Amino acid sequence: MTDDRPAAGDLTDQRVPGRAAVGTITWIGAVRQEPPMRRSTTLAAWGCAALALAETAFSPAVGGVSLLAKAVLVITVVTAAAFALRRWVPGPDLIDVQPFTVKDVTGAEHPCRVRGSLPHGLPSEGTGVEVYGRADGSGSVLVRELITEDGRAWRPRLPLPHRIARGVQLLNVLLWAVAALAVAWLLVFSR
């Protein structure tokens, strides 16, 4: 062990929030294309929409036809807004994903992925890095920031159309959640 590096136990015992790996880049894979939208966000929007529709179907039993008309009005307005968002905001194409592997001082390998682009490209193999991010469902780390051994920070950026599309997708979830809450409020407080 050299004097300029801490012992393996000292390095792994340090709990820095968000830091997923510290080590050396050992492998850089080919850039591949992935869809930009997350399935969990789409499922959340569909779940909120299904809840709002189920509440609307239940509304005649609670408050009669007038409550049904109010619930249908809420669903119609939200459906129109969601359709307008999807129609007017362009859907982005596939996004670049750069896989690489970081090997730490204990010998463990950490698969990592960079979504989007890095301003100066990915550091070369053999470069010491600290990887900040979170592990996704596949077990690889989705990189938020790379810090090289010389102190340079590398932050991946999504292209503007992808950032807009993510914002629209979150707004769509919010619209359907508000619709479900509005119909639930009508069920509880309408007479």
Q: pLDDT by residue (tens digit) across 51-81?
A: 999 999 988 888 888 888 989 999 999 999 9
The stretch 70-95 carries a mean pLDDT of: 86
One-letter amino acid at 132 equals Y
Pairwise pLDDT comparison (5 vs 71), residue with the higher score: 71
| 156 CB-contact burial (10 Å; exposed 0-12 / middle 13-18 / buried 19+) | buried
Q: Which residue bears the tokens 């193999």?
A: 125
Taking the model in full, what pTM does it have? 0.68
Cβ atoms of 31 and 96 within 8 Å: the answer is yes
Q: 39 in helix, strand or coil?
A: helix
Q: Mind listing the pLDDT tens digit for each residue in 171-191? A: 999 999 999 999 999 888 876
pLDDT at 183: 92
Q: Mind listing the pLDDT tens digit for each residue in 6-41? A: 444 444 445 567 788 888 999 998 888 887 777 788
For residue 140, give the nearest of 100, 96, 107 by alpha carbon: 100
Q: What angle do CA 16, 20, 23 make, to 5 degrees?
A: 100
The stretch 94-98 carries a mean pLDDT of: 86
Q: Mind listing the pLDDT tens digit for each residue in 117-175? A: 887 788 888 889 999 998 887 888 888 998 888 888 888 888 888 888 888 888 999 99
